[in-house]
Structure 1
Amino acid sequence: MTKFSLGGGMSRRTFLQVSAAGVVTATALGGVGRANAAPYSKFTWISPRGTLEVLDDYPYWIGKKMGYFADLGVETDMQPGPSDGTATVKFVDVGQADMGFPSPGVFSFALENGMKLKSAFHMGAKDTFSLAFRKGEGTNDLKTLEGKTILLGSAAWQSIVDPMLAVQGVDVTKVKYVEAGWPTWSTALKAGQGDAALSWEGLRAEWIGTGLDFEYWLGVQHSPLFANTFVVRAADLEDPDKKAFLDKYLRAWAMGMEFAYNNPRAAVEAVFEQFPTLASNIGPELGVTSILQQINVFRGDMDKRAGWGDHDMAAWQTFFDKIHELGQITKPVKAEDVCTNACIAAANDFDHDKVKADAEAYMLSDAFAAIDVENVRAHLYDQAVPA
């Protein structure tokens, strides 16, 4: 069994070795360069998961299709990045990408290692993360995982799981982690190589499409934490021209999220058009299941939010306090120093009625038109471990 640490105990040598690996892999990102004046020559968003062939980024793809990104004046680019779970922050830090999508734990890794990044748009208002178990072996009492093994796709994901377990009263020093690799950590669970595996909303549906039928402890139902966020270089938010660009760029994402909320089937179609292999692997119904799971996470309790992307600073402070207690960060972090709602008003300043009309006017294919969205919604959590 392998146990690893991503907290304050990570040595400078270890961090530099990982960084070097990321930089070497940068050549695979299509020659993404540092941001230039005016204010960006090209704007690159980088994935945390080593692939773009997922439904998670649906606001971008439907936004591109509907022209919501058209007035930015520069090319916008999506890159999968290396499968190293921390690449999404390292590439932004050194200027090889402009925006990353880390989990809160990986964001804390960036802060611990001196990266001058800020969360500018909190995508995941609820906790997307879950623990998968083989059928009949699941539990709603996570304390029973003490002494057992959790499988991860990347070592960096320990920074996701530790706080998730800790807030449930688990002694994380008694949990074993094994890095089983991307995308094989799920099949390793099926093969009996661990007791549980990290998963997340949306991915659950995709796993069903590949024959992986597990049961889940669902963070979206049980966890007080939250999910991934968009981070940028702090200096970019201080530059008036770049800040104005970020406002417009994030507005396009918010419009894509609003569109999908009103017509989730159309958003799935847009992703499937981009990635035909994904479409053939999971099909329309599981695609709609996946996107509805993610919409719940991204939307959160919108009545209590200032709009798409709004940070709940009290919740973020609770998170930082907990990971400091765990030793995942060695110094206290003030949420308002590293998270900002400065872009939120501008990002949500769009014609909501027009976006809704766009969504309602979208002509679905026959396969998607046949899907009963409310019936799918009623069964989103059928895989949850029985109470």
Structure 2
Amino acid sequence: MTISNNSLTRRRLLQVSAAGVVSVGAMGLPRPARAEGYDGAFTWISPRGTLEVLDDYPFWIGKKMGYFEGLDVDMQPGPSDGTATAKFVDVGQADMGFPSPGVFAFALENGMKLESVYHMGARDTFSLAFRKGEGPTNIKDIEGKTILLGSAAWQPIVDPLLAAQGVDVSTITYVEAGWPTWGTALAAGQGDAALAWEGLRAEWISSGLEFEYWLGVQHSPLPANTFAVRAADLEDEDKKAFLVKFLRGWSMGLEFAEHNPRAAVAAVFEQFPTLGSNLSPELGTTSILQQMNVFRGDFEKREGWGWHDMASWQLFFDLIAQISGDAEPIEASKVCTNALIPGANDFDVEKVKADAAAATLSPEMSAIDIESIRATMFDQAI
């Protein structure tokens, strides 16, 4: 599907996204037990159509270490439609989604009563991949070019990313090249660039896709993916208490990885052996280090894991309004909240450090040189 930038509004994403309008029950989410305050298990839904990635490592290491003990949590991959992570939360088929800022804005503009409660992506994770030797020295040279997407719903990710750099996004043509084949399509000579993100860079290397990248994590002032829930759930004290407990476990998983990233990789590989067989310990560690950089952000300036930088979010919403021609941008302070962040960070950091230090590793994982990977993490950047 080729999409002219001028023809795609946020509302039209409901028509062109892969799954279309949500059909309640389409995902068939199991709800085997009861989570406090919820009708069944608390269901978290991925934006990728799969859980077999390293991106959600805080949950898998937290599950292994017992940081979610007593919480009934159901992790779901969801459809590959990029907007499903918001739409299924809105209609009650899931309780928390992990949308990109663009998909979150799309949801709000389409009347979904959602609120961001935990900002995972403190730095902009998104990037543009180019065939080697074809990346522009100035990102404004992308004007007039074609960008490949895995889903049409990803356009609201790229538009503000480029607009923040002064690019006239009305000149960009987007092509929906399909999930998970849009990177392969770029390598085969289709399009001029492809959307990518931190962590995915390492996974693409493992599948033989060698690109160079303009990295948002180095250049973009915008936020990345966040945890969104129904706004009404924040008015229910039982649900709010459950959310704090869940987010505390997630924060502990993030903290653990800071002190032993290799053990976090190993926990994901134990959960998904096929992923472990496809990614080497070195590439798995490279992927998680890329993502840790995004999730941590400038931690000294944040008020804990999950804290929203409202200025960054407002800049994003202002750009969305500018691109779409809306008179009034979304107010970040009305749709993003830091109310749960103190509780989500109320844990014994020293205990988590001790847990990380005590973790055992395989000889193969122990041999991975963390500092060597960090030193070369941006070698693909243009």
TM range (shorter): over 0.9
Note the 1:353-372 alignment, pairs <5 A: 353-372=350-369
Structure 2 residue aligned with 1:315, among 309, 312, 317?
312
For residues 27-42 of structure 1, the aligned pairs below 5 Å read 27-31=26-30, 38-42=37-41
Residue identity in the other structure for 1:178: V
- Look up the match of 1:2: 2
The more displaced of 44-53 and 22-31 is 22-31
Paired position in structure 1 for 2:108: 111
Q: Residue by residue, what CA displacement relative to the aligned partner does 1:163-204 show, whole Å, maximum 9, x if unpaired? A: 000011110000110000000000000000110000000000
Shift of residue 211 of structure 1?
0.3
Residues 1:211 and 1:189: Cα distance change in structure 2 (over 3 Å): same
Aligned mate of 2:204, from 191, 197, 207: 207
Task: Label 1:323 to 1:28 Cα distance change in 2 as closer, same or farther (>3 A).
Answer: closer
1:102 maps to a residue whose letter is P
d(CA) in 2 for partners of 1:172 and 1:118?
Answer: 27
- Structure 2 SS opposite 1:3: strand
Give the unaligned 5+ runs of structure 2.
none
Structure 1 residue 176 corresponds to structure 2 residue 168:
no
Q: How many residues in Structure 1 have an aligned counterpart in Structure 2?
A: 382
Q: Is the 8 A contact 2:5 2:172 kept in 1?
A: no
Gaps of 5+ in 1: none
- Residues 340-379 of structure 1 mapped to structure 2, 5 A cutoff: 340-379=337-376
Q: Is the 8 A contact 1:25 1:82 kept in 2?
A: no
Q: How many Å apart are 1:37 and its aligned residue?
A: 6.8
Tell me if structure 2 keeps the 8 A contact 1:7–1:327. Answer: no
Identify if the C-alpha distance between structure 1 residues 7 and 266 changes in structure 2 by more than 3 Å, giving closer, same or farther.
farther
Q: Which amino acid in structure 2 is aligned with residue 224 of structure 1?
A: P
Structure 2 letter corresponding to 1:279: G
Match of 2:161 in 1: 164
| Letter of the 1:200 counterpart | W
Q: Deviations over 1:182-233 (max 9, x none)?
A: 0000000000011000000000000000000100001111111121000000
Q: Aligned in 2, Cα 1:109/1:292: closer, same or farther, shift over 3 Å?
A: same
Shift of 1:274: 1.1
User: How far did residue 29 of structure 1 move?
Assistant: 4.0
Assess if the C-alpha contact under 8 Å between 2:54 and 2:284 holds in 1. yes
Per the alignment, residue 122 of structure 1 pairs with 119
Query: 2:62 is matched with which residue?
Result: 63
Cα deviation for residue 39 of structure 1 reads: 3.9
After superposition, the Cα gap between the structure-2 partners of 1:335 and 1:261, relative to the gap in structure 1 and judged at 3 Å, is same
Indicate how the Cα distance of structure 1 residues 105 and 375 shifts in structure 2: closer, same or farther if over 3 A, else same.
same
Structure 2 counterpart of 1:332, which letter? Answer: P
Query: Which amino acid is 1:195 matched to?
Result: D
Instruction: Name the structure 2 match of 1:46.
Output: 45
- Amino acid across the alignment from 1:2: T
327 and 242 in structure 1: CA distance in 2 versus 1, 3 angstrom threshold: same
Question: Structure 1 CA distance, aligned partners of 2:280 and 2:181?
Answer: 21
Q: Per the alignment, in what secondary structure is the counterpart of residue 174 of structure 2?
A: strand
Structural mapping, 1:204-283, within 5 Å: 204-283=201-280
* Equivalent in 357, 377, 382 of residue 379 of structure 2: 382
Distance 1:16 1:322, change over 3 A: closer
Equivalent in the alignment of 2:323:
326
Is contact 2:11-2:106 (8 Å) kept? Answer: no
State the distance in 2 between where 1:31 and 1:155 align.
28
Give me the CA root mean square deviation: 2.2
Give the share of equivalent positions with the same residue, in percent: 69
Structure-2 change in CA distance of 1:223 and 1:50 (3 Å): same
1:38 to partner: Cα distance:
3.4
Flag the 1:10–1:302 CA change in 2: closer, same or farther, 3 A. closer
Deviations 1:49-87 (A, max 9, x none): 111111000000000000000132xx2111111111000
2-structure distance, mates of 1:163, 1:76: 33
Distance 2:138 2:330 in 1: 30
Task: Summarize deviations over 1:275-324 as a string: whole Å, max 9, x none.
Answer: 11111111100000000000000000110000000001111111111111
* DSSP 3-state at the match of 1:53: coil
CA distance in 2, matches of 1:25, 1:269: 36
Corresponding residue of 2:281: 284
